[in-house]
């Protein structure tokens, strides 16, 4: 048992912190005046950004197209940017109102459209190698990578859907980033904005998403979710993954509570989340004097269609498979999670959904935060597109694949000229069935990194993530030593490459990662071959309507469950479990790390 008082107090502290940092704000806050009003109890006036928009372009009262990865902005839709400082999203000189579509959207419509490398992207990598330490100056650009990108890609392949409800529904996968390249002493606000990704209303017909008229532009309500730890120092943001797991999506425009945690969307519209990093003064007031201090990052693979009920059963199954809160709907839950560890091909999820998404690995030590956010290969044992999977083989779950599954992807922003960087592949909005991931996944100076939060640092000694967070890295190292080597899912090197912490082998390791990436790409294209089966649509109407099997079956007995728990608990050293309490908040998270 872990329930010490320290844990409780830590949890309480975390709760307090949460309350402190994200008090409820009014519902239809509008414009920049209220932009940060819910944060830190600060009055809206403190954050009022007078004419931040007009200072550059009066037309920017709506979100403009920006070649760096903006989103669709319908004429007259003045909502989104009004809540933002638009230093990063103002249109470039060549802005054309007729091009109100995100590059990704354009790609989706025009497969041949390629975007040139963005200015600055080319230097991003060099920056990446240099930035991240205390020497990082304010002019340096941040690099961001999507921690759970493989999982996002899995969903993206099927067109991600996100449930929206009146009371608000969390995103899954949720947004989780790592940031490098910030000035460790400067203060930043970090927030996510969700904007329309295209001008269409969508409908799910015949097993696929088709456009259905124009999007409703009159969307109202909050579109911004400010990370509850904002404002905070660059060191803080770079120390750990920045998770937006508490972010909720709603279709309730009139919601009057929890506004700070809710983003109001419209059903059957496609949206694109964007990450904003804004340098602020120590008290959280934004400095609008320099656009350099505002950076925006867009990950096309995080696009999603808001729905009130899942349309695509593939998405439903992915959610069930990966979201620990949906464990109860896993029809082969028992067989999957009660088997002996040695028989298990995939890491079982943490028993705690919360721990799963908050703890940096109480059991699967090497896994980063929010393990279930990462592809765990589980669906490979399942049957998307109504195809019962062949028995899982080890080849599907090679360490190499596991490494790939934990890849993360750096993105650098392009703030000058006011553009949001289209981060990863714009081709992502091509139907993934096109394949071509091998090229599109590594575009424009975006470097793929296969790293799990901990050992990745040893993989990439030159990475800013190595130096950016001495604490994180050192903690990770300490953490790493606690990994029970017998755990089958313990992150480990591929047999071929071997795992080495020796810096001299980092390069070879990097090459290995590239190969791993290719392996993943290959697996995608292969899987999509089946997805393109001409019987797909037909199968949708029959076998795809998967129903949850009764949990009262023969395999479902308490003993099996308990044995699973015993297995897991015995797998983790008792001392470890005591040292790593299931973190219920960042407070205990920190306390744990502060006391290795």
Partner DNA sequence: AAAGTAACATGAAGCACAGGTTTT
Partner DNA sequence: AAAACCTGTGCTTCATGTTACTTT
286 in contact with DNA (CB under 7 A): no
Answer for which of 17, 46, 125, 203 binds DNA (CB under 7 A) is 203
582 in contact with DNA (CB under 7 A): yes
553 in contact with DNA (CB under 7 A): no
Answer for which of 126, 185, 308, 393 binds DNA (CB under 7 A) is 308
Instruction: Give the residue among 86, 61, 88 at the shortest CA–CA distance from 75.
Output: 61
User: Of the ranges 40-48, 77-85, 151-159, 200-208, which one interacts with DNA (CB under 7 A)?
Assistant: 200-208
561 in contact with DNA (CB under 7 A): yes
Q: What does the alpha-carbon distance between residue 58 and residue 562 come to, in Å, rounded to a whole number?
A: 63
Q: What does the alpha-carbon distance between residue 310 and residue 288 come to, in Å, rounded to a whole number?
A: 41
CB of 551 to DNA, least distance (A): 4
215 in contact with DNA (CB under 7 A): no
Answer for which of 13, 111, 130, 326 binds DNA (CB under 7 A) is 326
3 in contact with DNA (CB under 7 A): yes
Three-state DSSP class for residue 267: coil
Let me know how long the chain is: 596
220 in contact with DNA (CB under 7 A): no
15 in contact with DNA (CB under 7 A): yes
CB of 7 to DNA, least distance (A): 7
Maximal C-alpha separation, the chain = 68
Three-state DSSP class for residue 323: coil
Q: What does the alpha-carbon distance between residue 196 and residue 61 come to, in Å, rounded to a whole number?
A: 15
Q: What does the alpha-carbon distance between residue 203 and residue 211 come to, in Å, rounded to a whole number?
A: 6
532 in contact with DNA (CB under 7 A): no
Q: What does the alpha-carbon distance between residue 179 and residue 187 come to, in Å, rounded to a whole number?
A: 14
Confirm if 276 and 295 have CB atoms less than 8 A apart. yes
For strand 169-170 and strand 176-180, is the pairing parallel, antiparallel, or unpaired? Answer: unpaired
Answer for which of 157, 169, 276, 505 binds DNA (CB under 7 A) is 169
CB of 72 to DNA, least distance (A): 19
CB of 12 to DNA, least distance (A): 6
477 in contact with DNA (CB under 7 A): no
Answer for which of 56, 235, 292, 325 binds DNA (CB under 7 A) is 325
Which positions from 242 through 281 interact with DNA, judged by CB under 7 A? Answer: 246, 251-252, 266-268
Is the Cβ of residue 159 or residue 323 nearer to DNA in the bound state?
323
Q: How many residues bind DNA (CB under 7 A)?
A: 54
- Whether the bond between 231 and the residue before it is cis, its omega within 30 degrees of 0, is yes
CB atoms within 10 A of CB 142: 31
Q: What does the alpha-carbon distance between residue 323 and residue 498 come to, in Å, rounded to a whole number?
A: 31
320 in contact with DNA (CB under 7 A): yes
Q: What does the alpha-carbon distance between residue 320 and residue 327 come to, in Å, rounded to a whole number?
A: 6
Is the Cβ of residue 166 or residue 507 nearer to DNA in the bound state?
166
User: For DNA, what does the binding mask look like between residues 137 and 156, x meaning CB under 7 A?
Assistant: --------------------
351 in contact with DNA (CB under 7 A): yes
Ramachandran area for residue 481 (φ above 0: left; ψ -120 to 50: alpha; else beta): alpha
Return the H-helix or E-strand segment holding 14. helix 5-21
CB atoms within 10 A of CB 183: 22
Q: What does the alpha-carbon distance between residue 49 and residue 32 come to, in Å, rounded to a whole number?
A: 6
CB of 18 to DNA, least distance (A): 11
Confirm if 369 and 178 have CB atoms less than 8 A apart. no
User: Of the ranges 125-133, 310-318, 370-378, 529-537, which one interacts with DNA (CB under 7 A)?
Assistant: 310-318
CB of 539 to DNA, least distance (A): 16
In the complex, the residues that contact DNA under the rule CB under 7 A are 1, 3-5, 8, 11-12, 15, 163, 165-166, 169-170, 172, 203-205, 212, 246, 251-252, 266-268, 307-311, 316, 319-320, 323-329, 333, 350-355, 546-548, 551, 556, 561, 582, 584
């Amino acid at each position: 048992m872990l329930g010490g008082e320290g844990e409780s107090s830590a949890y309480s502290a975390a709760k307090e912190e949460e309350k402190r940092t994200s008090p409820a704000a009014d519902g239809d806050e509008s414009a920049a005046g209220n932009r940060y009003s819910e944060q830190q109890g600060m009055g809206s006036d403190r954050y009022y950004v007078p004419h931040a928009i007009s200072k550059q372009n009066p037309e920017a009262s709506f979100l403009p197209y920006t070649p760096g990865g903006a989103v669709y902005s319908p004429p007259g839709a003045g909502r989104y940017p009004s809540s933002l400082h638009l230093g990063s999203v103002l249109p470039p000189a060549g802005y054309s109102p007729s091009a109100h579509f995100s590059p990704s959207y354009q790609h989706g419509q025009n497969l041949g459209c390629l975007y040139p490398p963005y200015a600055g992207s080319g230097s991003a990598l060099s920056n990446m190698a240099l930035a991240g330490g205390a020497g990082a100056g304010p002019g340096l650009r941040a690099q961001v990578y999507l921690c759970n990108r493989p999982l996002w890609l899995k969903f993206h392949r099927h067109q991600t859907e996100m449930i929206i409800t009146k009371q608000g529904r969390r995103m899954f996968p949720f947004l989780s980033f790592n940031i490098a390249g910030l000035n460790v002493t400067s203060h930043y606000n970090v927030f996510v904005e969700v904007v329309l990704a295209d001008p269409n209303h969508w409908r799910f017909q015949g097993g696929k998403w088709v456009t259905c008229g124009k999007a409703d532009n009159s969307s109202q309500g909050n579109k911004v979710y400010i990370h509850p730890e904002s404002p905070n120092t660059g060191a803080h943001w770079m120390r750990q993954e920045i998770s937006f797991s508490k972010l909720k999506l709603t279709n309730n425009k009139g919601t009057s509570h929890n506004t700070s945690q809710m983003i109001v969307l419209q059903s059957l519209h496609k949206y694109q989340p964007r990450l904003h990093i804004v340098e602020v003064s120590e008290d959280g007031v934004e400095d609008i004097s320099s656009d350099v201090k505002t950076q925006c990052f867009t990950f096309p693979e995080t696009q999603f269609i808001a729905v009130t009920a899942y349309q695509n059963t593939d998405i439903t199954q992915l959610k069930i498979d990966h979201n620990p809160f949906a464990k109860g709907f896993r029809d082969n839950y028992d067989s999957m999670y009660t088997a002996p560890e040695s028989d298990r091909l995939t890491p079982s999820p943490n028993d705690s959904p919360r721990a799963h998404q908050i703890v940096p690995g109480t059991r699967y030590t090497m896994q980063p935060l929010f393990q279930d956010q990462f592809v765990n290969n589980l669906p490979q044992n399942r049957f998307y597109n109504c195809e019962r999977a062949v028995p899982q083989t080890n080849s599907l779950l090679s360490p190499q694949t596991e490494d790939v599954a934990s890849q993360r992807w750096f993105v650098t922003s392009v703030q000058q000229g006011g553009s949001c960087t289209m981060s990863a592949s714009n081709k992502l909005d091509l139907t993934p069935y096109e394949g071509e991931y091998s090229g599109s996944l590594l575009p424009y100076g975006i470097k793929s990194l296969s790293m799990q939060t901990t050992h990745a640092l040893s993989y990439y000694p030159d990475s800013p993530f190595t130096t950016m967070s001495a604490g994180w890295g050192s903690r990770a190292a300490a953490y790493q030593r606690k990994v029970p080597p017998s755990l089958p899912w313990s992150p480990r090197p591929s047999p071929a490459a071997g795992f080495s912490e020796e810096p001299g082998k980092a390069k070879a390791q990097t090459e290995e990662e590239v190969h791993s990436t290719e392996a993943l790409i290959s697996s995608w294209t292969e899987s999509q071959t089946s997805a393109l089966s001409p019987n797909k649509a037909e199968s949708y109407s029959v076998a795809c309507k998967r129903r949850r099997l009764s949990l009262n079956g023969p395999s479902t007995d308490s003993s099996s469950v308990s044995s699973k728990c015993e297995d897991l608990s015995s797998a983790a050293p008792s001392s470890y479990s005591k040292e790593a309490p299931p973190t219920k908040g960042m407070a205990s998270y920190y306390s744990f790390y502060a006391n290795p």
